[in-house]
Structures are given as C-alpha cells and as structure tokens.
Structure 1
Amino acid sequence: MKHSEPYIAAVDIVRKLRDAGFQALWAGGCVRDLLLVKEPKDYDVATNALPEEVRHLFGKRRTLAVGASFGVIIVRGHQPDCDVEIATFRSEGPYLDGRRPEHVKFTTAEEDAQRRDFTINGMFYDPINESIYDYVGGKADLQQHLIRAIGNPLERMQEDKLRLLRAIRFAATLGFHLAESTFHAVQTMANEITVVSPERISEELRKMLVHPHRKDAIDLVQSAGLMKPVIPELAPLWENEENRPLWNRTLDRLEQLTTANFETAFAALLLDLPAPTPADQLDAAHQICKQLRFSNHGLHLVLWLIEHRTSLHGAPGFKLSQLKRLLAHENCPYLFELAHADLTSQKQSLEDLEFCRQYRDHTPIEVLNPPPLITGNDLIDYGIQTGPEFKELLTRIQDAQLEESIHTHEEALALLAQLHQK
C-alpha cells in the first residue's frame, strides 16, 4: 500500500523519538480517521519527551514552539502538509476562562487520554507496531457510531466551550449520534457558547456548512439550543409557529445544496432571515457576518447572493444587456447553486435557471463580457467632465454594445456624440 507524504513524515517522527529513547504515538483525530479508513488531514504525535527535548532532537530551525507552555511543538516538514504537531503527554488544571487550562502537568499516555474531548478522539496508535491504545472506549464508540464525552460531559464542556459545537459537528459530519448524556450537557450549557471567540465559532460553522451533511448539522445545532446564542436573528423562524415552515424550508434548502462553498451555504441559511423589508434583511445579514468576523470577501459574497436571490426570475425576457451583465458576474456560479437549492426547496420551476445555465455555458466570454468599445479617457478627450453624466454615458454605450447594436470603436464614438447632444 502506497502511503502519503504526511503519513510517511509522521511515521519518521515517531521512529526518531523512539530511537532517542522516548515513547511516541499518534494521537487524536488521525487515529479516528485511520480506523474509519479515511486519509487523515494531519497527524498529531503524543510523547513523553518534554518540549525542550523535542526541540533539541529535531533542531531549533525545524521546530516551532507554538504552545511550549502546554507541551506543544510543531516539527516542520519539507512541505506544509507534512508539518506534525508533537505534544507531551499531559493532564490539565482548571479551565477558568472556558478556553484553556491555567496550567498543565506532564504525565502518562493514559492520563493524557482522560483530558481529551470525545472518546473517538482519545485513542493512540503505534504506527511502527500497528497497535491501538484505547483507555477511554473510543474504539467501541466508533463501531457504535457514538459521540460520547470522555468522563463527565459537563466537565468536558466546561473546560472548553467550543466542544459544544464540536460535538454537533462530529455527530453530523460523521453520521453518528450523540450519547444522551453528552447531548444533555450541550443543551444545558448552550448559552455559554458566547464566551468562545467569534472566529472559533465561525470556523466550526464553516466545517459544518461545507460538508454534505450540512442540513443535519444545522438542525442539530438548533435542537441543541446553540443556534439562538450564535445567530439570535434566526430564532423567530422556529420560535414563532407561523414561521416554522420557513425554518423547515431553510433546512430543505441546505439539504439541496451541492456546493462546498461556505458563503453560498451561509447565504442559504440566512435567506429567510426575518425582517420587515429586503433592505432590513441585508442589514441584519451584514451584522451577522460582521459579528462572526467574516472576511470582507466572504461578507460581500453572502450579501450579494441574498440580494440577488430572485435575479434569475424571468431571465428569458431580459434585455441582452441585463442578462449578460448578470451572467458575466464573478459570483454567478454561486448564485446558480443557491437558486437551484432555493427553487427546489420551494418546489418551483427551474426553467429560468436552466435557461441562464445554458446561455452562460454556450456563450463565448468575449460575447458575454466583451472589452468595452469606449473608456473614460475617450469621454475626457471628448471634453466631458467627470460626474453623474460621465458614468451614465459609459453605461448606455456599454448597454448598446451588449445589445449588439454597436460593434466598433467608431460606432461607440458616434453614439457618444449623439447621446451627449441630447
């Protein structure tokens, strides 16, 4: 069996630690993924070597002390996806801020397993001897498709409130179910998710929404009581019985999506956001994206998609200039995905959408979005001052070009002279 470069790099790190007299095992998510016969995204190593011993063994230039006080060192690979996180076996002190422990104590693999979040993430693997070390019942839970907190669920969630969302994500994306006691702990503490940074919450939502099981994830987030503290603006959709069909339609829309684009999925989540007017809805969506610390690009894409939700309706009757401008827009492929899911969830016709797809797919880019026949410099040379008329003239001439009523620079100048005289 041919192994990936990250796999080989992680084996080499374990072997080097062993040759130096230390214990070393793969830990956490990579062990879970291997048992699920999935290629791990990254590999973590747990060892009894202290951070300074790890740095000495692999060299200061090849290591990054990203969390040395918590026993974490990154060993750089020859390419980025070959970086490996090495953590010293540890037990942890109290999590007074609900995010990180006040102190750690270096210890054994068995004790280290007890401080991890869920049993399926608490196993170790020896890649040299190909053996599993399971002190928390993770293998059995994996076989039963069960997400179960290690030890007392409330204590695990109190330690790091992000685990409230992680429990949901693992259950939904793996197609597992939450152990009753773990789900109850999430429900009990749901309102405390607000102590977690918006960036970390946003990243968990991203991982849920880019996954094909996004509908199950969001349904579980809401039923666990986490959606309201995270996006309170959506709460009227399930709290108000009259709006409940809109929430069900939101879930259906998410299920119909086939894209892996986060912003498209997030727009699908907010598409029926309760608001008196479309402008108010856009303002609310803007505020939500800002609160979750979206990038400017992500925020603008979400808002554009919501604003253009119905822009494809009646497309066969559009003027050529209107149709081409819309279909040439860089966000149009995302709009197609969103419109398909939205229309399907409402059991509406896809004819206009299919017309747009066919037109865009079969129209050369130089016809759909041709270089302008005239520019602002031409208007300035013509003696026209910048201002409202300036932009209007450029738009009207480009409209004529898109309508295919003019085809050359000379024809554009003639039209400019005609329009400017009026």
Structure 2
Amino acid sequence: MPNANNDIPAPQSARTPHSTNALSHVQRRAVSELLRVSPVADDLARRFQEAGFTLALVGGSVRDALLGRLGNDLDFTTDARPEDVLRIVRPWADAVWEVGIAFGTVGCKKSSFDIEVTTYRSEAYDRTSRKPEVSYGDSIEADLVRRDFTVNAMAVLLPQKEFVDPHDGLEDLAARVLRTPGTPEESFSDDPLRMMRAARFAAQLDFQVAPEVIAAMKAMSERIEIVSAERVRDELNKLIMAAHPLKGLRLLVETGLADQVLPELPALRLERDEHHRHKDVYEHTLTVLDQAVGLEEDGPDLVLRLAALLHDIGKPKTRRFENDGRVSFHHHEVVGAKMTKKRMTALKYSNDLVKDVSRLVELHLRFHGYGMGEWTDSAVRRYVRDAGPQLERLHKLTRSDCTTRNKRKANALSRAYDGLEERIARLQEQEELDAIRPDLDGNDIMKILGIAPGPQVGKAYQHLLEMRLEHGPMERDAAVAALKEWWAGQD
C-alpha cells in the first residue's frame, strides 16, 4: 500500500473485471487507513531502520486496513531479536510490557495505539506438546509462510511502504475466501488451533473457507485435543462474539471440531422419525442464538450468547417418547444447567461466568408457567428473585426461545411476556424488587427475640423472606408480630 498517491498492484491472476473493481476499492480504503496510523508507524520504523533492522506492518493489521476496519491495535514484525526490540521501543513508547517475550513478542503503547512487535519466527507443535516451539527467522518471506491464512500473510514494509504478498492474500481477500499459505495439513500440524481460527474468521469476516481447508479440518479434527482448554475457550469466545456466529458454529459441527470442543452442540441433531415428531433442536438452538443477537442493545453479550447456545443441551438426555406420539423433554432445563456447568468448567471459564450462564439455562423455561398471565404477585417476585442480576438477560433469552412459525402463537407469547415485564416494572417501582429482603434484618431479629447469633436467626430470616415474597412489603409492627408468631410455634 504504497503511498497516498499509489494503489497496491493487484496480482496478475486477480485482474478480471470483477476482481479489479473489488481490489481497487479495498486499495483505496487501505490507503486511507494507513494514512491515519502512518505518523506512529513511520516514526517507529525509522527507529528500527536507524538501529539496522527492518519493520513491517503485518497480518491482521494489513488485512483490516484493506477491509477498511483497522483499529488502534497494530501488529508489526521485524528481524530484530526481542532484546533489540526492547532497546528500541523503551525510550519511545509510553509503556512497555514483556508478557509475550518468550514467544518473541514485545508489547507497547504509544499515544492511543496498542502495538505488538514480533520477531520473524516459525513455530510448530510436536505430536504431544501443548506449547509451540519457537525459533527465530531472518526473512519476512519465511515468517509469512508460517502464518495461518493467506489473508493474514501480507505485510507492508516500513517506512518505504512496500507491499509484500507472496501467497496472493490480496486476491483471496477480494474473493472473501480463507486459504492457507502452504498446505492446510502442514498449517494445522504446526498449530491445530488454526482449524478453529478458520471457523472464527468465517464468523467474523463472513468469508468462505476453501474446500481443501474444510477437508483438512475434517481429517485432522481430533488433533485439536493437544491444544490447551484456555486457548480453545478464547477462540470459541471470539467466534461466538463475532458478527456471524452461526456460520462459524455450523463449520465446527460440519468438520467434527465441535465433537471435540463442544460435543453438546452436535448432540442436538436428534434423530427424528415419522411417528414421533418434534422440532429440530439443533436448528432451533441456532435460531435462538440468532434472535438473541438481534435483541442485544450494547454490543455483543457473551453471557447471553452462551446461554442461548447451551439452553437446550439437556434435551438429548431427557427425551422420552410418549404413548400418544408426542416427545417430551421433562426437566431438560435442570439437566442442561448441570451440563452447562460441567462443559464451561472443562473449558476453564471463570466461576462467575459459569454461574451466570448456568442460571439462565436453568431458568429459561420458567416463563412458560406464566401461561395467560395468571401468576400471582408472589410468583412474579420469586421470578425476579431467582433471576437476580440476570433478569434482563432472562427477558431476552425467553423472547429468543420462541421460534414457532405459528404467528398467532408467537404473538400470544409475546403479549404474555410483555404483560409479565409490565407487572415486574410495576412491582419494582412499588417494592424495590431488585433487592428483595425481609422487612427485619438479623440485628432486629436477635433484639426482638432476645437470642444470640446462630442457626435460629437464619431460620427466622428465611421465614420473613418467604413472607416478603408471598405478601410483599409489611409495616414494621406487622413484621414484628409475624416474627413473634412464628417464634412461638418453634420447638
């Protein structure tokens, strides 16, 4: 992406009338993006040049510049070794960190830009290791060939702004296709996580994955087992949080990768027969996720998306064929919550995230007891209490779970939930439902009953909480009387 007055030359094989227009469009966007970051990038490049080294913008930064979506995270590659990189950037950067230095990466911050500089390298797994073996290289061409996909194997040498694209990444970018610089088998042997990255980039960029890449993913899916749970989890999160998560998830299932990292998802493809009919649980789940994404208000919500993806995973274990031809899934929400906790724990999610997602899975059917609005205020209070801080997400998950094509039924469910939300809002305004607690606290209980701290205080507190949920707020005198009446009946 030469300079402001020159476009990137298109590869000869890409110069058809259609792709030429596409390439010239991305070239113009790239020039605009690079002009924005040029002062910082060029300044850093001159410092490397003066020290006798080369520097290039590389990988996702070049790809995103071509797509017109380059942010303030910039990736560079260099022939300088990490200790030389530190010597160059320390006097220049606002802050420097060495978290990735064992893998040849030095991070730093300059103005509003977060920068990573990585030494030319190659890395490969052996057949049993979970960690890459790092060795440094001396050419940018050798560095680019070890990258995951051709669209991430482009570079811009700085400060001269010479475009380097030995694997026709620009052509693949214009065609919106994911290919590997070498053979996919070699690439996935180097790092099996790249198979999941293919699905993730398909979800993020809405690209197609080349047939030979999909074939290699199917053949090598079991090799993902050597990758650490933390790396798998992080890649899965990026996929789920992407703009097109269904595209990535379908690819994981199609290639068999989901069988290894999230087997509960392909397990939803339950066999169906002409005698016992039920909706396609797998397709229903993807639709629920898609509808949940559509209800997000402040950007991607990992808790909501995970809950939507996992809400029905208890169905395969609870499926029963009834005598009348119906199929039941009794208590699948309870079973599903336990399965969610087990799977998320195995993937090393935080305890808080496991708790929140499992709770939503457990509660996702609760609304269906609301029927046509016959819940008492007590039932509404308990619904709010049980949802706790996940109430808004539970609203969205419950609405997303309606995938019926029957418009009359869908409208009835929507109106019923509208009514429930209105009742919750009224009660919240009257009673501060978000912080339901008894009308007397522990100190009040001990003083009124003349008892010391102990189990009886907890029992009295729980009794008053149940009364609060059942009847709403009580005046203090009434609460005291109720407490004494309860106490008199205790052994």
TM-score, normalised to structure 2, is: 0.77
Q: What secondary structure does 1:33 align onto?
A: helix
Match of 2:415 among 351, 356, 373: 351
Query: Does the CA-based 8 Å contact 1:98-1:161 persist in structure 2?
Result: no
1:123 and 1:309, CA in 2 relative to 1: closer, same or farther beyond 3 A?
same
Match of 1:268 among 297, 304, 308: 308
1:65 and 1:238, CA in 2 relative to 1: closer, same or farther beyond 3 A?
same
Choose 321-330 or 177-186, whichever is displaced more: 321-330
Query: Does the CA-based 8 Å contact 1:31-1:125 persist in structure 2?
Result: yes
Choose 48-57 or 31-40, whichever is displaced more: 48-57
1:365 and 1:206, CA in 2 relative to 1: closer, same or farther beyond 3 A?
farther
1:75 aligns with 2:130: no
CA distance in 1, matches of 2:233, 2:291: 22
Choose 163-172 or 227-236, whichever is displaced more: 227-236
CA distance in 1, matches of 2:201, 2:342: 28
CA distance in 2, matches of 1:196, 1:114: 21
1:286 and 1:110, CA in 2 relative to 1: closer, same or farther beyond 3 A?
same
Q: 2:193 corresponds to which residue?
A: 162
1:383 aligns with 2:418: no
Choose 378-387 or 328-337, whichever is displaced more: 378-387
CA distance in 1, matches of 2:361, 2:124: 46
Match of 1:397 among 464, 468, 479: 464
Match of 1:301 among 341, 356, 367: 356
Please report how far the alpha carbon of residue 77 of structure 1 lies from its aligned counterpart in structure 2 after TM superposition. 3.9
Q: 2:478 corresponds to which residue?
A: 411
CA distance in 2, matches of 1:197, 1:233: 19
1:41 and 1:303, CA in 2 relative to 1: closer, same or farther beyond 3 A?
farther
Q: What secondary structure does 1:312 align onto?
A: helix
Choose 246-255 or 365-374, whichever is displaced more: 365-374
Letter in 1 for 2:365: T
Q: 1:109 corresponds to which residue?
A: 140
Letter in 1 for 2:398: A
Q: What secondary structure does 2:269 align onto?
A: helix
CA distance in 2, matches of 1:365, 1:163: 54
Please report how far the alpha carbon of residue 204 of structure 1 lies from its aligned counterpart in structure 2 after TM superposition. 1.2
Letter in 2 for 1:413: V
1:253 and 1:17, CA in 2 relative to 1: closer, same or farther beyond 3 A?
same
Please report how far the alpha carbon of residue 398 of structure 1 lies from its aligned counterpart in structure 2 after TM superposition. 3.8
1:121 aligns with 2:152: yes
CA distance in 2, matches of 1:130, 1:239: 54
Match of 1:288 among 309, 333, 343: 343
The correspondence of residues 22-421 of structure 1 with structure 2, limited to 5 A, is 22-40=53-71, 42-59=73-90, 63-68=96-101, 70-77=103-110, 82-92=113-123, 95-97=126-128, 100-126=131-157, 128-238=159-269, 240-241=271-272, 245-258=280-293, 259=296, 260-273=300-313, 274-276=316-318, 277-278=331-332, 279-315=334-370, 316-327=373-384, 329-344=388-403, 348=410, 349-361=413-425, 363-364=428-429, 367-368=432-433, 369=435, 372-381=438-447, 382-383=449-450, 390-391=457-458, 393-401=460-468, 406-421=473-488
Query: Does the CA-based 8 Å contact 1:256-1:345 persist in structure 2?
Result: no
Q: 2:323 corresponds to which residue?
A: none
CA distance in 2, matches of 1:41, 1:356: 44
Letter in 1 for 2:394: L
Please report how far the alpha carbon of residue 195 of structure 1 lies from its aligned counterpart in structure 2 after TM superposition. 1.1
Superposed CA RMSD: 3.1
Q: What secondary structure does 1:26 align onto?
A: strand
Q: 2:21 corresponds to which residue?
A: none
Q: 2:17 corresponds to which residue?
A: none
CA distance in 2, matches of 1:2, 1:410: 69
Q: What secondary structure does 2:418 align onto?
A: helix
Query: Does the CA-based 8 Å contact 2:54-2:158 persist in structure 1?
Result: no
Q: 2:16 corresponds to which residue?
A: none
CA distance in 2, matches of 1:364, 1:6: 50
Letter in 2 for 1:51: P
Q: Sequence identity, in percent? A: 29
CA distance in 1, matches of 2:64, 2:342: 37
Please report how far the alpha carbon of residue 55 of structure 1 lies from its aligned counterpart in structure 2 after TM superposition. 1.7
Query: Does the CA-based 8 Å contact 1:172-1:213 persist in structure 2?
Result: yes
CA distance in 2, matches of 1:310, 1:388: 34
In structure 2, list runs of 5 or more residues that go unmatched: 1-31, 319-330
In structure 1, list runs of 5 or more residues that go unmatched: none
Letter in 2 for 1:397: L
Query: Does the CA-based 8 Å contact 1:99-1:160 persist in structure 2?
Result: no
Letter in 1 for 2:345: K
Query: Does the CA-based 8 Å contact 1:172-1:217 persist in structure 2?
Result: yes
Q: Deviations over 1:275-303 (max 9, x none)?
A: 23544333322211111111110111111
Q: What secondary structure does 1:183 align onto?
A: helix
Q: 2:326 corresponds to which residue?
A: none
Query: Does the CA-based 8 Å contact 2:121-2:137 persist in structure 1?
Result: yes
Please report how far the alpha carbon of residue 90 of structure 1 lies from its aligned counterpart in structure 2 after TM superposition. 3.0
CA distance in 1, matches of 2:487, 2:240: 51
TM-score, normalised to structure 1, is: 0.88
CA distance in 2, matches of 1:417, 1:109: 81
1:419 and 1:145, CA in 2 relative to 1: closer, same or farther beyond 3 A?
same
Letter in 2 for 1:408: E
Q: What secondary structure does 1:167 align onto?
A: helix
Please report how far the alpha carbon of residue 52 of structure 1 lies from its aligned counterpart in structure 2 after TM superposition. 2.1
CA distance in 1, matches of 2:430, 2:157: 55
1:284 and 1:399, CA in 2 relative to 1: closer, same or farther beyond 3 A?
closer
Query: Does the CA-based 8 Å contact 1:321-1:399 persist in structure 2?
Result: no
1:386 and 1:28, CA in 2 relative to 1: closer, same or farther beyond 3 A?
same
